[in-house]
Amino acid sequence: MLINCSVYRQGAKLADIPIDDISDYLTHPDCLIWVALRDTSAAELDKMQEEFSLHDLSVEDARHGHQRPKLEEYRDSMFVALHLVELIGNDLSVGELNIFVGSNFILTVRNRSEQSFANVRERCEREPELLALGSGFVLYALMDAVVDRYFPLVEVLESQLEAIEEHLFDKDSARGNIEQIYLLKRKVMVLKHAVAPLMEAAGKMHGGRVPPPCANTQEYFRDVYDHLVRINTALDAVRDTISTAILVCQSTVSIEQNDVNKQLAAWAGIFAVATAFVGIWGMNFQYMPELGWRYGYPLALLTISATCYYLYFRFRRANWL
Please state the pTM of the whole predicted model. 0.81
Which pLDDT tens digit goes with each residue over 296-309?
A: 788 888 888 898 88
Which pLDDT tens digit goes with each residue over 92-115?
A: 999 999 999 999 999 999 998 989
Model pLDDT, residue 150: 96
Calculated CA dihedral for residues 210, 214, 220, 225, nearest 10 degrees: -40
User: In this model, does residue 288 exceed pLDDT 90?
Assistant: no
- Looking at the DSSP assignment, which residues form a beta bridge with residue 35? 5, 107
User: In this model, does residue 251 exceed pLDDT 90?
Assistant: no
- 287 falls in which pLDDT band (50, 70, 90)? low
**Rounded to an integer, what distance in angstroms lies between the CA atom of residue 140 and that of residue 170?**
47
CB 57 within 8 A of CB 64: no
Model pLDDT, residue 284: 72
CB 133 within 8 A of CB 216: yes
Higher pLDDT, 157 or 284: 157
Amino acid, res. 271: F
Higher pLDDT, 230 or 114: 230
Model pLDDT, residue 240: 93
User: In this model, does residue 235 exceed pLDDT 90?
Assistant: yes
CB 182 within 8 A of CB 176: no
Domains of the chain in sequence order: 1-130 (3.30.460.20), 256-317 (1.20.58)
CB atoms near residue 118 (< 10 Å): 10
**Rounded to an integer, what distance in angstroms lies between the CA atom of residue 33 and that of residue 16?**
10
Higher pLDDT, 178 or 222: 222
Model pLDDT, residue 314: 85
Sign of the CA dihedral running 98, 211, 73, 34: positive
Which pLDDT tens digit goes with each residue over 7-28?
A: 999 899 999 999 989 988 998 8
Model pLDDT, residue 93: 93
**Rounded to an integer, what distance in angstroms lies between the CA atom of residue 158 and that of residue 154?**
6
Which pLDDT tens digit goes with each residue over 36-45?
A: 999 998 899 9
Which pLDDT tens digit goes with each residue over 129-185?
A: 999 999 999 999 999 999 999 999 999 999 999 998 888 888 777 778 888 999 999
Model pLDDT, residue 153: 96
Mean pLDDT over each residue of the chain, to the nearest integer: 89
Q: What percent of the chain has pLDDT over 90?
A: 54
User: If DSSP codes are grouped into helix, strand and coil, which group holds residue 257?
Assistant: helix
User: In this model, does residue 285 exceed pLDDT 80?
Assistant: no
CB atoms near residue 67 (< 10 Å): 18
**Rounded to an integer, what distance in angstroms lies between the CA atom of residue 321 and that of residue 266?**
7
User: In this model, does residue 90 exceed pLDDT 90?
Assistant: no
- Backbone φ/ψ region at 284: left (φ over 0), alpha (ψ -120 to 50), beta: left
- 286 falls in which pLDDT band (50, 70, 90)? low
- Residues 115-127, mean pLDDT to the nearest whole number: 92
User: In this model, does residue 292 exceed pLDDT 80?
Assistant: no
Q: Which of 306, 246, 34, 10 is nearest to 130 (CA)?
A: 10
| Helix (H) / strand (E) containing 15 | strand 12-16
Q: Which of 196, 62, 205, 200 is nearest to 139 (CA)?
A: 205
